[in-house]
Amino acid sequence: MKASIKYLAIYRYKDSYPIKEMCRFFGVSRSGYYGYVKRMDTPDRDEALARQISECQQRCKKTYGYRRVKIWLDRKGMNRNPKTVLRVMRKYGLLSEIRRRSKYKQMGQQVHIYENTLNRNFNADRPNQKWVTDISYIHTAQGVLYISAIRDLYDNSIVSYKTGTEQTVNLVLNTVKAAKDNEMVTTEPLLHSDQGFQYTSRAYFNLTQEYGIRPSMSRRGNCYDNAMAENFFNILKTECIYRQKIKTFDEARSLVDDYVHFYNNERIQLKTKLTPYEKRRQSA
């Protein structure tokens, strides 16, 4: 427990218990306590700077990190050390509410990295020859709902998808299992993904081996290698998700279910002038 918290507790109960006994109980000195009480009556030296930072964050809707806040202060003639700005922002709860994209974080052991066998060859001659997969997310008032999907490059249909409130390996495994069950695949499809921890896991390796699926993987930090998987999520969000405010997970799941059905069965593709289902039926 921090000394300041102990001092505050002693101050709160100073009229009920002897200060000497409370200092002994909390393991702090009386001189330290009285110094704390004296400082309580002294104006906080950071208060003026905190007010300026608060004004800055109100104007930018708390999107500025400490570096941008410092620039804003400099323009107002308040030249402060960046470390001081960061310290005061932390002290007064004035940090940015925008999460900065974090560097790659290994969530679990990276066991398997696969070659980029697909190599941006997004054309397929038959159904279930080449699949691409990825995970995206949908913001709701209840929280974030994640969606894992597998897209067939033959007709761009979604052969399977699963949703969940966490990005887990099981979310991906269940998507692969559903694709295998839905399509009753007898060949060895190529399944391309990025290097997310779900796809490098041992469980993913074991499942693809069991199902006779050939994994392929994008190069690190190259989003274009898996552009067709990301393209579907862009279509889903643009045509469906972004057009309304979603309150609950159940509402988001219902929207995804309805849209995937529309996308596979009714949405005409400009290139083929057919729906994915119509093109798939032609091959049968």
pLDDT at position 267 over 70: yes
3-state secondary structure of 191: strand
Averaged pLDDT, 13-23: 90
103 confidence band (pLDDT: 50, 70, 90):
very low
105 confidence band (pLDDT: 50, 70, 90):
very low
CA distance 63 to 9: 36
Query: Do 73 and 190 fall within a single domain?
Result: no
pLDDT at position 108 over 70: no
Query: Do 33 and 80 fall within a single domain?
Result: no
User: In 125-254, where do the E strands start and end?
Assistant: 130-140, 143-152, 158-164, 190-193, 214-217
DSSP symbol at 47 = H
- Output the pLDDT for position 42: 64
User: In 37-142, where do the E strands start and end?
Assistant: 130-140
> What is this structure's pTM?
0.63
Q: What is the CATH number of the domain that holds 167?
A: 3.30.420.10
125-162 confidence digits (pLDDT tens): 999 999 999 999 999 999 999 999 999 999 999 999 99
CA distance 197 to 224: 19
The reply to whether 109 falls in a domain is: no
Averaged pLDDT, 217-222: 88
- Percent over 90 (pLDDT), the chain: 59
Query: Do 254 and 174 fall within a single domain?
Result: yes
Q: Residue 152 forms beta bridges with which residues?
A: 131
Helices 30-40 and 3-12, packing angle to 10 deg: 80
Query: Do 65 and 166 fall within a single domain?
Result: no
Strands 190-193 and 214-217: parallel
The answer to whether 241 touches 147, Cβ cutoff 8 Å, is: no
Say which range, 86-90, 158-162, 261-265, has the weakest mean pLDDT: 86-90
Nearest to 149 by CA among 247, 260, 278: 260
pLDDT at position 102 over 50: no
The reply to whether 29 falls in a domain is: yes
Query: Do 80 and 148 fall within a single domain?
Result: no
Residue-range definition of the domain harbouring residue 69: 47-91
Q: Residue 158 forms beta bridges with which residues?
A: 151
pLDDT at position 280 over 70: yes
3-state secondary structure of 206: helix
Query: Do 236 and 152 fall within a single domain?
Result: yes
CA distance 130 to 121: 9
Query: Do 172 and 208 fall within a single domain?
Result: yes
The reply to whether 51 falls in a domain is: yes
283 confidence band (pLDDT: 50, 70, 90):
confident
The reply to whether 9 falls in a domain is: yes
- Percent over 70 (pLDDT), the chain: 92
The reply to whether 121 falls in a domain is: no
272 confidence band (pLDDT: 50, 70, 90):
confident
- Output the pLDDT for position 221: 79
Nearest to 124 by CA among 217, 186, 190, 178: 190
- Output the pLDDT for position 186: 60
Query: Do 64 and 173 fall within a single domain?
Result: no
